[in-house]
Amino acid sequence: MTAAPPLKNERFIKMTTEPVERLVINLAVPSIVIMLISSLYNMADTYFVAFLGTSEVAAVGIAFPLMVVIQAMAFFFGQGSGNYMARALGAQDHEGASRMAATGFFSGFIVMSAIAAAGIIFLEPLVDGLGATVTIKPHAMEYIFYILLASPWMVSAMILNQLLRFQGSASIAMVGMLVGAILNIILDPIVIIVLGFGIKGAASTTMICQILSFLILFFYGCTRKGNIPIRISHFSPGLKRYMDMIRGGIPALIRQGLMSVGAIIINHFAGNYGDAAIAAISIVNRLCMFAYSAVLGIGQGFQPVCGFNYGAKLYSRVKKSFWFCVRIICIGLFIACIILVIFAPNIIALFRKDDLDVIAIGTRGLRLNCITLSLMGLVIMVNMLTQTMGKAMEASIVASTRQGVFLIPSLFILNHFFGLLGIQLCTPVSDLLSFAISVPIMIRVLKQISIPDEPDDSIQDVKEAIVEIEMG
């Protein structure tokens, strides 16, 4: 264990003594902005591509599973290394935190580069596998080619975002993502419509803006005093380190991976009902992801608080911050659901006002999703809690239920009996079943950290550590 510099000591004191409500809010607000910004990348593409036609909108929907895979790589390496890093910082092991951060970052870049190269080589079969119809395929190939080129930089930017956030530097992470997102929204209409580059303009603009975000996060965020620097000399691949990374990152990989598989199956099933069905489902997915982004932002504000205090064995602070997040998420989602249900036709029409089929299918799908949307707040928080604590089995179970264990079988069963309506029903059905699984897991995990004597002893240990730090 190496001696920590003053700024890192100050951060340890802050994360283990400041009221958890204030900590969560201060860390969650930048995280919420970051997650909403990430959704806006896709929302902006969908909105401006909608001016080109229904098939073009559907092409962006075909790319959705690929975008989920890219996020899966970023979350696996970013959260896998970040969860360990937060616990290491809570235990004052700064050398271990630095080596894990570098290993997670460089590993993510290498793996995503290999995946992108394979995707470009086998682009046509990839697009077919994602569920493109004959009319959608040429547009999807143009769009996905540039997304693949951008993917190593997208993953690298998201990993840096995660690493900064787990250190408690969410505001710096927000700046890097915000600059790229604003530029993306400004350039999209110019490149897509004014300059006439069409759908490939949307993807190439995303690529340019993601590279810019990466550069800002790498050269501005990771070089600031008090943050863990990313050094190639600290890249330390090894079985033990990757096993620690797997424990922290496998739940996110499972969650995102199964989401991608589910989205591919939905695309294939929806293709039987025409381009309008794929376009409508794509729009609903973007809107729901926008709502989930706010929830994930709050959860990501919780994770560093959980990691530091769990590492310092301050279990009462872990539970208090958990319940605080659950309350504000459930209330927020309930209000959002009411708004979405009332204004569903108007919201869908913003994307394709001239296509009545898209509006009708999208309206019904959005309203069905809202039935169980508010329940997902607790499911996501249980996933965040177990993942940050390093409880890989419990986190993996929660992560796999909604997008895999329940969603995929529901797709086959409900599509068979109810057709397109069945495809739209599968999400609320899987949400409800996931909630039922998550509650007992939550109760068991919270009981495990409710040891009466341990929190008081841990608080005393932290107080003694703070005294030592303040005395130099």
Q: Residue ranges per domain, the chain? A: 6-470
Environment class of 366 (CB within 10 Å of its CB; exposed 0-12, middle 13-18, buried 19+): buried
**What is the distance between the alpha carbons of residues 49 and 182, in angstroms, rounded to a whole number?**
17
Task: Tally Cβ neighbours within 10 Å of residue 46.
Answer: 23
User: Is 280:365 a contact under the CB 8 Å cutoff?
Assistant: yes
- State the pLDDT confidence band at 162, using cuts at 50, 70 and 90: confident
pLDDT of res. 320: 92
Residue 230, by phi and psi: left (phi above 0), alpha (psi -120 to 50) or beta?
Answer: beta
Average pLDDT over residues 112-121: 95
Q: pLDDT tens digit string along 57-101?
A: 888 888 888 888 898 899 899 888 887 887 777 777 778 788 888
Average pLDDT over residues 28-41: 74
pLDDT of res. 41: 64
pLDDT of res. 455: 44
Q: Which residue has the higher pLDDT, 2 or 255?
A: 255
Global pTM value: 0.69
Whether residue 43 is predicted with pLDDT greater than 80 in this model: the reply is no
pLDDT of res. 175: 78
pLDDT of res. 56: 85
Whether residue 471 is predicted with pLDDT greater than 70 in this model: the reply is no
Of residues 209, 70, 78, the one with CA closest to residue 144: 70
